Amino acid sequence: MSKNNVSLKDISKACGVSIATVSKALNDHSDIGQETKENIRRTAERLGYHPNAAAQALKTKRSNNIGVLFVDEAHSGLTHDYFSHVLDSFKRCVEQNGFDITFINADKSRPDNMTYLAHAMYRGFDGVVIACVDFFDPEVDELINSNIPVVTIDHIFYNRIAIVSDNAKGINDLVSYVYEMGHRKIAYIHGQESSVTQARLASFYRTLQGFGITTPDEYVITSPYRNIRSAYEATEKLLDLPDPPTCILYPDDVSSFGGMSAIRERGLNIPDDISVAGYDGTEIAARIVPRLTTIAQDTERIGREAAERLIDMINNPKATLIEQVVVEGTLKAGGTVRKIK
């Protein structure tokens, strides 16, 4: 008997019970005794029985498939340090719970130029996680307002569960550390407009105001996330100021590498001449010399929380609480911030 062709009839013969009993046992019906269920399940496993996925989907109206919407404007895809770790944690958790994941096509190559919602319905997704996207895209809004269970990462909609990093606390911790190291002239090269950027920027100003420091406008520059060239150019502008900062904060660890290149090309030393700090806590940040001071985001927990909340919404929609789950990061003090006496 080929394991690929094992049927309910084969299991019923091996167990000496009816096909109906086998079907009920495998679907955990309450009118079948626990001992019988376990015997049938063991036999099914031994024979190599796997239920037909399509038939199961028709019967349960479930595909056990979750869609992932991930649109990275920098086109770094799954090499994106932060989101790759978040999605890896998400993937492991959903697979442990019997779900598969499928990426929703980010470009317009979706069948018949479908919208995100139409594609999700076409694929029969039980739910969707939105990990990185233009959240103001009308297609995203359509998906958010549909009946499909959705969890977002790092963006909040009032009617959806969101898993967010504590960006305000992260910047507060970073600025406070730099201040405690004696710095008063602190510049911030921040990311482009988003809810993450808004939270970080507001926290930057609020924290410095709490220390009685007024930040010059020229100390705050916008630069795309993970854009080494743009961060390089922004750093040059700061270094050219008549009164340059003693410390520069970057929107992420990758951007900080561009800034450090600009600093070193001028013959300046990090941190003796100027200090720098990143954000995200990537692996490479811990390997460079000197080790980068940064905020390490808890990508493992962010991915796991997103998976658990989405699965709970799929399995128990009526009792699901719509809330925002805030995940704190951790300050990693490296060697790129000098102590000023």
Residue 36 included in any domain = yes
CATH number, domain with residue 27: 1.10.260.40
Say whether both 241 and 119 belong to one domain: no
- Using one digit for the tens of pLDDT, what is the confidence trace for 5-14? 677 888 889 9
Say whether both 42 and 70 belong to one domain: no
Report the pLDDT averaged over residues 185-195: 93
Say whether both 31 and 70 belong to one domain: no
Say whether both 319 and 262 belong to one domain: no
Residue 120 near residue 111, CB atoms below 8 Å: no
Residue 105 included in any domain = yes
Distances (CA, A) of 260 to 108, 225, 235, 296, 328: 37, 16, 8, 19, 27
Residue 338 included in any domain = no
pLDDT of residue 87: 93
Residue 172 near residue 150, CB atoms below 8 Å: no
Say whether both 208 and 273 belong to one domain: yes
Phi then psi for residue 192, to 5 deg, are -75, 170
Residue 114 included in any domain = yes
Question: Which has more confidence, 72 or 288?
Answer: 288
Say whether both 158 and 307 belong to one domain: yes
Residue 129 lies in domain: 65-164+300-328
Say whether both 71 and 122 belong to one domain: yes
Question: Which has more confidence, 63 or 328?
Answer: 328
* Domains held by the chain: number: 3
- Using one digit for the tens of pLDDT, what is the confidence trace for 21-38? 888 888 777 788 888 988
Rounding to the nearest 10 degrees, give the CA dihedral for residues 115, 119, 122, 126: -120
Q: Percent of the chain having pLDDT more than 70? A: 91
Say whether both 180 and 111 belong to one domain: no
Residue 333 included in any domain = no
Say whether both 189 and 284 belong to one domain: yes
- Using one digit for the tens of pLDDT, what is the confidence trace for 237-281? 999 999 999 999 999 999 999 999 999 999 999 999 999 999 999
pLDDT of residue 48: 82
Say whether 235 sits in a helix, a strand or coil: helix
Cβ-in-10-Å burial (0-12, 13-18, 19+) of 106 comes to middle
Could you tell me the pLDDT band of residue 184, with boundaries at 50, 70 and 90? very high
Residue 24 included in any domain = yes
Residue 60 included in any domain = no
pLDDT of residue 193: 86
CATH number, domain with residue 85: 3.40.50.2300
Q: Is residue 261 within a helix (H) or strand (E), and if so which, with residue range?
A: helix 253-265
Question: Of 54-58, 210-214, 278-282, 303-307, which gets the smallest average pLDDT?
Answer: 54-58
Residue 19 included in any domain = yes
Q: Where are the beta strands (DSSP E) in the chain?
A: 65-70, 100-103, 127-132, 150-153, 161-165, 186-190, 220-222, 247-249, 275-277, 294-296, 324-327, 330-332
Say whether both 198 and 261 belong to one domain: yes
- Using one digit for the tens of pLDDT, what is the confidence trace for 199-210? 999 999 999 999
Say whether both 281 and 304 belong to one domain: no
Cβ-in-10-Å burial (0-12, 13-18, 19+) of 132 comes to buried
Report the pLDDT averaged over residues 103-114: 68
Q: What is the mean pLDDT of the chain?
A: 89
CB atoms within 10 A of CB 20: 12
Question: Which has more confidence, 248 or 82?
Answer: 248
Say whether both 95 and 215 belong to one domain: no
Report the pLDDT averaged over residues 115-144: 89
